[in-house]
Amino acid sequence: MTVMLPHPRKIPPSRDKNLPVHLQKIMKKLREADRDNNGSFNKSELKHALKDLGAYFPGWRADRAFGKIDVNNDGLISGEEIDSLLEYLGSCGFGK
Ligand SMILES: [Ca+2]
Ligand SMILES: [Ca+2]
């Protein structure tokens, strides 16, 4: 018998438990901003999350984040890039 996950690409909530509290907050906002629920973030979704997190210049910050984090240049932050994104946003002081 094969167990099918309903949304295999969705970010699993269980991963949050191991994160420090401020990163959990960021993750929550990111998840809310993932409007098409595909488990990855395009620039507009990231901009929304940043705005929600209280960034002064969400568009600029999203550009910076993409330049730094989207290492495979596919215009999406996904998979392991999300970990880098969390770390980056945490180091910028978000989620406090
Ligand atoms: Ca998305
Ligand atoms: Ca990417």
Dist. CA 82 → ligand 2 center (Å): 9
Which ligand lies nearest the alpha carbon of 43?
1
Q: What is the pLDDT of residue 18?
A: 84
- Could you tell me the two tokens for 9? 């690409």
Distance CA 53, CA 61 (A): 11
Q: What is the pLDDT of residue 6?
A: 53
| Residues 3-49 pLDDT 10s | 665 555 666 666 777 899 999 999 999 999 999 999 999 999 999 99
Q: What is the pLDDT of residue 17?
A: 77
Which ligand lies nearest the alpha carbon of 67?
2
Dist. CA 40 → ligand 1 center (Å): 5
Domain map of the chain by residue range? Answer: 19-91
| Residues 66-86 pLDDT 10s | 999 999 999 999 999 999 999
Dist. CA 96 → ligand 1 center (Å): 24
Angle at 48 between CA 71 and CA 66, to 5 degrees: 15
The class that CATH gives domain 19-91 is mainly alpha
